[in-house]
Amino acid sequence: MSGVRVLVGTQKGAFILTSDEARKAWQIDGPHFGGWEIYHINGSQLNPDRLYASQSTGWFGQLIQRSDDGGKTWEPVNNEFTYVGDPGTHQWYDGTQHPWEFKRVWHLEPSLSDPDTVYAGVEDAALFKSTDGGQSWQELAGLRDVKGKLWQPGAGGMCLHTILLDPNNEKRIFVAISAAGAFRTDDGGETWLPINKGLISPWELPDKDADVGHCVHNLAMHPSRPDVLFMQKHWDVMRTDNAGDLWHEISGNLPSDFGFPISVHAHEPDTVYVIPIKSDSEHFPPDGKLRVYRSRSGGNEWEALTNGLPQSDCYMNVLRDAMDVDQLDSGGIYFGTTGGQLYGSADGGDTWSTIAPNLPKILSVEVQTLK
Amino acid sequence: MTDSKTIRVVIPHHLRNLARTGKEVQLEIAGAVTPAAILDELEARYPMLKGTIRDHQTKKRRAFIRFFACEQDLSHAPADAPVPDEVLAGKEPFLIVGAMAGG
């Protein structure tokens, strides 16, 4: 079938929504793994029926599920994430050192060149890689060498939540960690660089030259231009044109530059989307109006997209991994809220409709465009 | 010939779904029947349960898992302590329970 498949991770299970290219009528399949937190589900671009899901609860810990038929059936694969060597300690809230402890998998990113290779971003922050479809996991431990002792958890935990793979260079990977910052490897994960120059976080870090400790919420890239990255930081929307060597602010006229997700249009590398949230103290949209903001100039000039979205008394949040785009010509975009609403637009954000009004709290949204 | 015992084990809802089994499973255990031996055999039969009841490496019970039998909470008993005679005799099951937590 050609069309769109939306993979939704929620606090109480996974949902898979499908539609044809018109994206008007949706079939909802789920919950898969009912009662479990699904932090993320993601599919391989090479084999869209190969899906990976991160399943966890406080009772039974972490599981990884794999599907080879687009989510109709699932098999648990290996759930053992062991840090290399003695992982040591990182900074704790009170300034003391705290042992590194695995808690959960936040993000799964299948390789662009091999459907059996997949990366997992975990809490406490580390990057793992599997080359056998999830049957075993190896940590890329060089990441923790980048001043890992100075990293400390944000309110949501010390999680590695974003993994971007460079489509032109298999050895280059970008990751982001709360609250440590953004990092890049150019050798497939052996060694890493902090890429946080230009980030200014006076409310989080008194040292404006600090190269780690920044609270990066999400990164986005257009595959045609992998040296240009967009960042939603705790506060500030940022852009780099040199693969993270230097960032500059592009918040411009946003009503608030605090927020979580950031996405790029599938066919317009300078069209960027954010969802402003009032503040770190008040995790809901400014003025009770749920507005996606779109820049068509790569930042700084933003327009509110409101048609079809609630414009009064709206007080939910949109989490960092809960927005994604499709690849159809008209450039569809989707996001899910902590109130359990899944919204979609088939026209780049000009008009929105409610795809699913009553899901559990939405933790992640990934979109597959099926040929 | 090693003497083995048939032990009845009740597992919680989510783990039944994961292992695709019923509420109660029966395990043949040779040698001393202890919580550790029961879990070793359970994980051998259902490898997908590894890591969900106890840590992969340390074998420490997960915080919100409890072990009950014969109206006793065995969660804090040593993992290598014998289970009650009624469990050995198959009269009572060994219960693996998701602890009450939350609101």
Integer CA distances (angstroms), A223 to A129, A164, A168, A334, B90, in order? 21, 10, 8, 19, 61
In angstroms, the first-to-last Cα distance of chain A is 7
Contact A34, A14 (CB under 8 A): no
**Tell me, what's the pLDDT at A206?**
84
Instruction: Determine whether the interchain pair A79/B51 forms a contact, defined as Cβ–Cβ distance below 8 Å.
Output: yes
The tens digit of pLDDT for each residue in B19-38 reads 999 999 999 999 999 999 99
pLDDT of residue B2: 63
Chain B interface, mutation test: which of A36, A60, A100, most B Cβ atoms within 10 Å?
A: A60
- Residue B14 is nearest to which of A60, A62, A82, comparing CB atoms? A60
Task: Flag if A82 and B65 touch (Cβ within 8 Å).
Answer: no
Alpha carbon of A202 to those of A207, A208, A213, A314: distances in Å?
8, 7, 11, 29
| pLDDT of amino acid A292 | 98
Report the gap between the CA of A136 and the closest CA in chain B (Å): 13
CB contact under 8 A, A61 and B51: yes
Nearest-by-Cβ selection for A59 from B48, B56, B98: B98
Question: Which residues of chain A have a Cβ shorter than 8 Å from any chain B Cβ?
Answer: 35-36, 57-63, 76, 79-80, 82
Q: Is the dihedral of CA B46, B47, B48, B54 positive or negative?
A: positive
pLDDT digits (tens, 9 = 90+) for A260-295: 999 999 999 999 999 999 999 999 999 999 999 999
Q: Identify from B42, B52, B61 which residue to disrupt to test chain A contact, counting A C-beta atoms within 10 A and taking the largest count.
A: B52
The answer on pLDDT for A191 being more than 90 is yes
Read off the CATH number of the domain in which A244 is found. 2.130.10.10
Alpha helices by DSSP H, listed for chain A, are none
In a domain, A14, yes or no: no
Mean pLDDT of A173-178: 96
Average pLDDT score, chain B: 94
Alpha-carbon distance of B65 to A323, in angstroms, equals: 35
Q: Which residues contact A26 (CB under 8 A, 6 or more apart)?
A: A17, A18, A19, A355, A356
At residue B3, the pLDDT reads 81
> How far off is chain B from A36, nearest CA to CA, in Å?
8
* B52–A76 CB contact, under 8 Å: no
pLDDT value for A275: 98
Tokens in use for B14?
């989510």
Which residue of chain B has the CA closest to A78?
A: B48
Instruction: Give the span between the Cα atoms of A324 and A336, in whole angstroms.
Output: 10
pLDDT score, position B99: 87
Size of interface A-B (CB pairs under 8 A): 41
CB contact under 8 A, A79 and B53: no
Contact B48 A36 (CB under 8 A): no
Min distance B3 CA to chain A CA atoms (Å): 32
Domain membership flag for residue A7 = no
Say what the pLDDT of residue A198 is. Answer: 96
Q: What is the pLDDT of residues A74-128, one digit of tens each?
A: 999 999 999 999 989 999 988 899 999 999 999 999 999 999 999 999 999 999 9
Measured in angstroms, the CA of B74 and the nearest CA of chain A are apart by: 17
The CATH number given to B4-98 is: 3.10.20.30
Q: How confident is the model at residue A1 (pLDDT cuts 50, 70, 90)?
A: low
**DSSP readout, A198-239?**
T---TTT-S-TT-SS---EEEEEE-TT-TT-EEEEESB-EEE
For residues A242-260, average pLDDT: 98
What are the tokens at A258?
């605090």
Per-residue confidence at A202, pLDDT binned at 50, 70, 90?
Answer: confident
Would you place residue B70 in the very low, low, confident or very high pLDDT band (cuts 50, 70, 90)?
A: very high
Q: Is the pLDDT of residue B102 over 90?
A: no
At A81, the amino acid letter reads F
Residue B1, pLDDT score: 52
For residue A250, being part of any structural domain is answered with yes
A107 and A62 Cβ atoms separated by less than 8 Å: no
Are A76 and B18 an interchain contact pair (Cβ–Cβ within 8 Å)?
yes
Which domain range does residue A45 map to? 34-317+327-333+341-352
Cα separation, A346 vs A325, whole angstroms: 10
Distance of alpha carbon A255 from alpha carbon A234, whole angstroms: 15
In angstroms, the separation between the Cα of residue A61 and the nearest Cα of chain B is: 6
Q: Which residues are bridge partners to A9 per DSSP?
A: A14, A364
Give the ipTM. Answer: 0.92
What six digits make up the tokens of A67?
A: 């599907």
**Chain B nearest CA to A64, separation (Å):** 10
> CA of A103 to nearest chain B CA: how many angstroms apart?
12
Residues of B in contact with A60 (CB under 8 A): 14-15, 18, 52-53, 62, 65, 98
Q: Is residue A221 part of a domain?
A: yes
**Backbone angles phi and psi of B83, in degrees to 5:** -85, 165
What local confidence, expressed as pLDDT, does residue A2 receive?
A: 84
Dist CA A313 CA A293 (whole Å)? 18
Q: Is A27 exposed, middle or buried (0-12, 13-18, 19+ CB in 10 A)?
A: exposed
Residues of B (43-62) whose Cβ lies below 8 Å from A: 48, 50-53, 56-57, 62
pLDDT at B71: 96
Whether the CB-CB separation of A47 and A77 falls below 8 Å is answered with no
Answer yes or no: is pLDDT of A192 > 70.
yes
Closest residue in A to B99 (Cα–Cα) = A59
Q: Is residue A129 part of a domain?
A: yes
Reported as a single tens digit per residue, the pLDDT across A311-347 is: 999 999 999 999 999 999 999 999 999 999 999 999 9
Residue A72 domain-assigned (yes or no): yes
Contact residues on chain B for A122, CB-CB shorter than 8 A: none
Asked whether residue A197 is assigned to any structural domain, the reply reads yes
Within a domain: A322: no
Our count of domains for chain A comes to 1
Quick one: pLDDT at residue A113?
96
Interface test with B, best of A59, A78, A84 (most B CBs within 10 A): A59
Average pLDDT over every residue of A349-360: 98
- Distance, first Cα to last Cα, chain B: 51
